[in-house]
Amino acid sequence: MDAPNQTVAELHERSFATVVAELIRTHATGAVEVHDMIGTNRAFFRSGVPQGAKLSRLKNPIGRLLVEDGTLTEAQLDQALEIHSKTDKLLGQVLLDQRLVDAETLKRTMEAQSRLNFLALFALREGQVEFLDGLVHLTDFTPAPMPPLVALYTGVRDHAGDEVTWPLLATLAFAAVTVSPLAKALTAELPAVEQMVVRLLETQRFTGDLARSVPLPPKALGALLYALHELGGLLVGPAINVPRA
């Protein structure tokens, strides 16, 4: 999947992270379908901004998310599920009918579910990926825009295997690394520690073992550098005569 009009790839050949980066860079609008053994997963993009996803199997169920954030008790969820099992109503509608949640809380939780489902797709290792130009299937999930760099960084950090980042990290071990002018805008939505790392890279050129110089665990640092590199926020050059920090 080297461009949006090249529509098919295998996940064992191109990782989901690589596909996401390509669609972000090309400002694509449409849906990525990932066909696995269960069915079809769909991830949505608008002008290169990830909008969330709908999975082929139930993950991050609404009821469980509401219990985890303290909105519902286990007893209230069990009550709603019992009613849900006897009707054709969606669980969210049952929760509204029983006045266990309000519309705004339900919407916010559905957005969180969609973001979590999008990030879960980074863990897929097998299946066929297809990009469908134009927005489709938007009736079965709640769009929840995610900053592109944050989506790529979080997805790689929490879900992707090391094989996504190790080729880049191997290159960086023998290169001078700093950030490009694009990085400031890209990283505005990152957590404070990640922004600190970017500021360090803005003011110094690092070589060798970056993990010794920045306050991030190695997996998170690798994911951040990978995301910055894929989206044009990282400059990599020869390490000759570049002092270590």
At 128, is the secondary structure helix, strand, or coil? strand
Domain membership of residue 22 as a residue range: 8-55+117-146
Domain count, the chain: 3
For residue 24, being part of any structural domain is answered with: yes
Tell me: do 70 and 25 sit in the same domain: no
The encoded tokens of residue 166 equal 């190790």
Question: Is residue 241 pLDDT above 50, yes or no?
Answer: yes
pLDDT tens per residue, range 5-44: 556 888 888 999 999 999 999 999 999 999 988 899 999 9
For residue 3, being part of any structural domain is answered with: no
Tell me: do 172 and 223 sit in the same domain: yes
Using 50, 70 and 90 to split pLDDT, how confident is the model at 1? Answer: very low
Q: What is the mean pLDDT of residues 133-139?
A: 73
Most distant CA pair in the chain, distance = 72
Counting DSSP H helices and E strands in the chain, the numbers are: 10, 7
Tell me: do 73 and 192 sit in the same domain: no
pLDDT tens per residue, range 90-118: 888 899 988 999 999 999 999 999 999 99
How large a percentage of the chain has pLDDT more than 70?
Answer: 92
Residue 2 confidence (pLDDT): 46
Which amino acid is present at 152?
A: L
Note if the pTM is more than 0.75.
yes
Residue 242 confidence (pLDDT): 53
pLDDT tens per residue, range 158-189: 999 999 999 998 888 888 888 999 898 899 88
